[in-house]
Structure 1
Amino acid sequence: MSNNKLFYRCLFAILLVTSCQKNPLDIMPDGRLTLEQVFADELMASEYLNTIYDNVNPYGTAYNYFTLLAGFSDEAHDNDFPQDMGRPPSRWYNGELRPNWNPLDIQFSTGSTDSETNGNYYRKNWAGIRQTNIFLAYINTTPYANPQVKARLVAEAKVLRAFLYWELIKMYGGMPVVDKPFTADFQFESLPRQTFQECVAFIKQNCDEAIAEQYFPYRITTEPERGRFTKAVAHSIRSQALLFAASPLWNAGDDQNRWVEAAEAAKQSLEALQANNYVLHPDYESYFYGRTDISVNPSDKETIFEIKPYRAHEFSHLMFRMHAIPTLGGDKAGNSPSQELVDAYDMANGEPAITGYYDEDHLYPIINTTSGYDEANPYTDRDPRFYATVWYNNAYYGEINGQPYHIQSYLGGADGISSIMQRTGNGYYLRKFRDPKQLDPNTGTARFKKYRLGELYLNYAEAANEAYGPTPEVYQAINAIRDRVDMPQLPEGLGKAEMRERIHRERRVELAFEEHRFWDVRRWKILNMTDKLTTGMEWTKAGDSFTGRRIVTGRRKSWTDNHLIFPIPLGELTLMPLWEQNPGWD
């Protein structure tokens, strides 16, 4: 057996024994390593930290059946519905989230714990937290030839712990704050739940300490280290957590100090990232086609953390096959952008096109008559981000086999509306993340970007507007995002509420399909206004002209207030008799 195989078998044995409540060191000598032995060697200690990344979900297309989180929000309609009512989106639309059943937990294969899939959120995050606590408790005794390496790994572990806590409480609310390994006689049922705010304070502490570590890098610069956390990731996690903590879901009394704290932290992060060569990518559309280049001075200076595929499930490959235009290959249509998302894009002149709806079914839009929006030609002169995100009827795709191709999503067209999963159900297809020149599933290079600089601008703008009103700095942050795509700057003189509406709209279009909308509507407590249904556009062709009408694509049942926070899994709750279930799930 090679030394590497021997090492990993030994390390696997350690992970198995540390997952038990029994003292992991109380074992008979049988060739397995103790934790003391692992942390007596700097190589094995470092590898122990690497294994913690197995608890980080792959996000992106790793929701069963290779779908996106957008399909569980009002950003998109998942075309598995209504043909396959057993798939997670259909079961989500049917309101099947329960304390003993979470549609987002469905794995690719029944019972799978494959790290390439999303799911097992509660246990995976707690397992990672336990491992980081073990690492941080033992690493102090590990002799490192270079103390700078050790300092970096300690900071990295703190960011991992912050990340795992953040992903846990974002879904389930406040949890116990645990920063040390459990002893063999610890009574787990005695652990009290702590508040969301207390957890955020712990997350912030971990991020602050990592940011303060001089040997912790802002950017990964060598290929073998691709996928590791950095100081920039710490800034992103801290910014998100503080923004959520200030938002209505977790700030019922509208404590302005929380908005101030979120704004000041986001401002500090923006300044630090900019000082360390983080810059918005010049081309919004092409930015999502590729993966980050690794170097001291990369061409992609915006990406903060990109998901690295564990084995075969490359993001670009799955986007090609599972979110496809039927005439261009692929297995299914996947997530189709909703009419509600399409309506959120401004006109190219900077004016909102649609400001709301007269009816609950969203079939009669409130048109901003000063915007220039034309119901007969709704896709003309829109925000460039619309064209980078959505394929719509008659959109020019490019040349296929030397011939120009336009999307035929009209009734009876080659890409026309149908109830089968290989076709759009609402008249749209997803363009973002896929280069139109990619005509083979194996030639794409896109990877899912978990954190990027653009979000930090939006986090700051939102928090600062709530804390101080629409100051020049708020305008500057939003306009930086709009300038990148040559959109006009926001009009001067907006009030605080008007600016809030524009910021919400800006987040929706800038971050579309990047796993923000699902959580934003919850923290803003507007789920009951956004997630009852999605609509689309049904086009009929007559000669060379098209006539469109709005249609309801699907109604949903996952919009009530109890869906703002997920229920704690029933099996976990029964082990903690002192805990109460989250509101509305008793």
Structure 2
Amino acid sequence: MKMNKKNYLKMKNIRNNILPLILLTVLVGCSDYFEPNFNNNLSEEAVLDYELNPEYVEGLYVPAYGAIPGSYTTFSGDFLDCATDNAVSNNYNSTAWKMHTVSNFFTSGNYPIYTWSNNYRYIKSIYKFLSVGLNEDIVYRNSNEDRNIQIKKRMEGEAHFLLALNYFQLLRDYAGPVDGEIMGVPIVDKVITEEEALGLKRASYAECVEFIVAHIDTALTSGLLPEYSDEYVNSHPDDNLQSTIYGDGLAGLPTTVACNALKSRLLLYAASPAFSGGNSAQATDYYTRSAKAAKKVIDAIGDLPDIYHPETIDDDYFTKVDANPELILRRASQTKAWEQDNYPPSLGLSVKGSTNPSQNLVDAFPMSNGYPITDTSNSGYSEDMPYEGRDPRFYMTIIYNNAEFHDTNIEMWDGGNTAVGAANISDDSRVSRTNYYLRKWMTEKPSFITGVSSETPWHFTAMFRAVEAYLNFAEAANNAVGPDVMIDGLSARQALRLVRNRAGIPTDGDASIGSDPYLASLADLAPLIKNERRIELCFEGHRFYDLRRWGDDLNTTVKKSEVSTNDNGSTFDYNFNENVYPNQVSFPEYMRYGAIPRSEILTSSNLKQNDGWK
């Protein structure tokens, strides 16, 4: 069945509401929702008697939804971008700061990206469910036969999607060279004993990729996951679907669109230089398959939504957790914590100013005519007025010197309202290390000043969103067939134009290539594709992995802005060449790949560590 845009939004609106409920269940353990009449003294065999406890069996695979992050601050409490050249944490004791200033800070016993045990625990829970949960005799929620079949089909699709997602994360975080050969992670295809687990070996990278693709393809089997199941709903108008199969009580579930989004990302990573191992034929195959999967997402979701407007970005995007056409799969929460952690210190005693975008990221944003600031003859960029006439996405991402935010001009100079000595700022613990603060995701709804009205906004963390499909397609197609050869009716250059057009560059342009002179002029699209990905997906956990898979430099010097004024804020002088980190350390090449936890290596004699890690 072909999904139309209306039904896609409908399914997404349904889907978006369950993950907080599901993950609350995970956090509180086995809640009454999944164990309405469960006696905790029963044996595991009795628990898994699906005729007695179908609700418990249904809940077996739910912990695997924990693989979908509930926040972007996954790097020891900081945005993962703070571990890259995109941003800095202002906390000198943070992992993100120390990794750049303390030699040999990371070891296999002290590696901050630790997903190994969680992912394998989630995988075990899925296999437990699959071992009993689809038995033909089990009846969920006292359903009639037809409805019960549909419920099981949906559960089967969910389980295989979640297996694929958890294995993708393991491969992303732990794949790497062993004696020079790129290896994957151990593949488990059933519930195993602890003794069996201790004897596991790593599979090849290619074996892992195809294993994950197979689970995605199973989830994509017709009749399992919906794009939105019009066919079933329309043919069963009298059924209570709202609480049994696709209704509000079961929102937050993956769809075929999410499956293809995951497949596209997986294959794009697999094709990348760090993992393809110099096998150009294999890389081209992966790139082509990635592009085709991304195109399926694009065909399903349609045009990128028109939401990038600085004056309305809070309501149109940052806080729109439901009926948001940009979102494919996400978690949501209602919290002021993001703002409290990241507002500039002039906006309250309790705010922390934690995440500081780098000058490197600022320089990545082009001018509003689409030309990079380094092209001084065409861009119109001036170092005397560096923040004038920039890409609209810049103003939705960065709080810069003298920018207005929360009805306040944010003053970065010595003596300004964010400097030490200003009201309520007695030391530099809350002050930016780069003279920039984070605007992206920060709404103006909360207040941390006594007496000022405040709201607690909704926030989402996107597992997949629409623009990534376009960016994945552009990168994959460009590498597979070049910038202008079409794959399934779209070229890399066209996809990139649609991304830039949605962003409003050039100003008043249209979706045609010719309306974007800079894009039209390029013979080599690769640098622009990387830059657009950097801009669009910053502070969403992508750049850390992108730099590594591309084989790009991990030791770029992170820069800051220095601001001075001679007339108390009427005019400014800027220096953009100062380093953020004193004596910034270099990362050896082996750190391009993650470290399998030392504890796992010590307890599993057949498990080999990635080259270089101690």
Decide which of 60, 65, 69 is 2:80's aligned counterpart: 69
| 1:240 Cα deviation from its structure 2 partner | 0.8
Q: Which structure 2 residues correspond to residues 493-512 of structure 1 after superposition, within 5 A?
A: 493-495=521-523, 498-512=524-538
Match of 1:122 in 2: 116
Q: Decide whether the 8 Å contact of 1:55 with 1:127 is kept in 2.
A: no
Give how far 1:578 is off.
2.1
Q: How big is the shift at 1:279?
A: 4.3
Deviation at 1:4, TM superposition (A): 6.3
TM (normalized to structure 2)?
0.78
- Cα distance, 1:305–1:170 mapped onto 2, change above 3 Å: same
* 2:400 alignment partner in structure 1: 392
* 2:562 is aligned with 1:538: yes
The corresponding residue for 1:165 is 167
Change in CA separation of 1:370 and 1:30 when aligned onto 2, cut-off 3 Å: closer
| Aligned residue number for residue 436 of structure 2 | 428
1:451 offset after TM fit, Å?
1.0
2:241 is matched with none
- The one-letter code of the counterpart of 1:92 is M
**Counterpart secondary structure, 2:538:** coil
Residues 408-417 or 52-61, more deviating: 52-61
CA contact (8 A) 1:278 1:302 kept: no
Could you tell which deviates more after superposition, 132-141 or 433-442? 433-442
Is 1:584 the equivalent of 2:603? Answer: no
Deviations 1:537-575 (A, max 9, x none): 111111111111122111543632121111111111112
Q: CA 1:548/1:327 → structure 2, altered by over 3 Å: closer, same or farther?
A: same
Q: CA deviation at 1:522?
A: 0.4
Which residues in structure 2 correspond to 1:31-70 (within 5 Å)? 34=46, 36-38=48-50, 41-54=53-66, 56-64=68-76, 66-70=77-81
| Correspondence for 1:243 among 268, 271, 276 | 268
Change beyond 3 A, Cα 1:491–1:332: same
Please, which of 297, 305, 310 is the counterpart of residue 281 of structure 1? 305
Letter of the structure 2 residue corresponding to residue 47 of structure 1: G
Alignment of 1:20-31 (within 5 A): 30=42
Matches within 5 A, 1:313-332: 314=334, 316-329=335-348, 330-332=350-352
Instruction: Name the residue aligned to 2:461.
Output: 448
Partner of 1:196: 205
Q: Does the residue aligned with 2:464 lie in a helix, a strand or coil?
A: strand
> Scaled by the length of structure 1, what TM-score is found?
0.82
Query: Could you tell me how far 1:57 is from its partner in structure 2?
Result: 4.1
Match of 2:413 in 1: 410
Deviates more, 1:193-202 or 1:35-44: 35-44
2:332 and 2:458 in contact (8 A); partners too: no
How far 1:468 moved relative to its partner? 0.7
2:366 to 330, 346, 352: 346
Alpha-carbon distance between aligned partners in 1 of 2:85 and 2:286, rounded to the nearest angstrom: 30
Q: Conserved in 1, the CA contact under 8 Å of 2:34 and 2:58?
A: no
Structure 1 residues 552 and 10: CA distance shift in structure 2, 3 A: farther
Matched pairs, number: 516
Please say if 1:218 is aligned against 2:246: no
* Aligned partners of 1:260 and 1:464 also within 8 Å: no
Contact 1:259-1:464 at 8 Å conserved across structures: no
Counterpart amino acid of 1:574?
A: L
Matches within 5 A, 1:302-313: 302-309=326-333
Gaps of 5+ in 1: 14-28, 105-119, 355-366, 400-404
- Cα 1:224–1:317 change in 2 (3 A) is farther
- Say which of 138, 142, 159 aligns to 1:143: 138
Identity within the alignment, %? 28
SS at match of 1:448: strand
Q: Which AA in structure 2 matches 1:494?
A: L
Q: Look up the match of 2:254.
A: 229
Cα distance in 1 for partners of 2:593, 2:73 equals 23
Which residue of the partner structure matches residue 178 of structure 1?
188
Could you tell me which amino acid in structure 2 is paired with residue 457 of structure 1? Y
Is 1:470 the counterpart of 2:498? The answer is no
Structure 2 unmatched ranges of 5 or more: 1-29, 140-144, 176-183, 229-244, 449-453, 486-490, 507-515
Contact 2:368 2:392 in 1 (8 A): yes
Q: CA deviation at 1:390?
A: 0.3
User: Residue 580 of structure 2 aligns to a residue in which SS?
Assistant: strand
Instruction: Evaluate the alpha carbon distance shift between residue 221 and residue 292 of structure 1 in structure 2; reply closer, same or farther with a 3 A threshold.
Output: farther
Summarize the Cα distance change of 1:421–1:232 in structure 2 as closer, same or farther, 3 Å threshold. farther
Taking structure 1 as reference, are residues 542 and 303 closer, same or farther at Cα in structure 2, changes over 3 Å only? same
Tell me if the contact between 1:346 and 1:382 (Cα under 8 Å) persists in the aligned partners.
yes
Q: Alignment RMSD, CA only?
A: 2.7
* SS of equivalent residue, structure 1 residue 208: helix
Residues 1:11 and 1:416: Cα distance change in structure 2 (over 3 Å): farther
Partner of 2:543: 517
1:551-570 alignment runs, 5 A limit: 551-554=578-581, 555-557=583-585, 559-570=587-598
What amino acid is aligned across from residue 414 of structure 1 in structure 2? N
Contact 1:40-1:143 at 8 Å conserved across structures: no
Spell out, residue by residue over 1:292-325, the C-alpha distance to the aligned partner (whole angstroms, 9 max, x if none).
21xxxx3x1120111244xxxx4x5221111111
Q: 337-346 vs 481-490, which deviates more?
A: 481-490
Partner of 1:380: 388
When residues 11 and 415 of structure 1 are mapped into structure 2, their CA distance, relative to the original with a 3 A threshold, is: farther
Cα distance, 1:523–1:581 mapped onto 2, change above 3 Å: same
Structure 1, 431-440 or 457-466: larger mean CA deviation: 431-440
Q: Residue 324 of structure 1 contacts residue 332 of structure 1 at CA under 8 Å; is this kept in 2?
A: yes
Structure 1 residues 511, 39: closer, same or farther in 2, change over 3 A?
Answer: farther
Residue identity opposite 1:246 in structure 2: A
Relative distance call for 1:460 and 1:40 in structure 2 (3 A) is farther
Residue 100 of structure 1: SS of its match in structure 2? coil
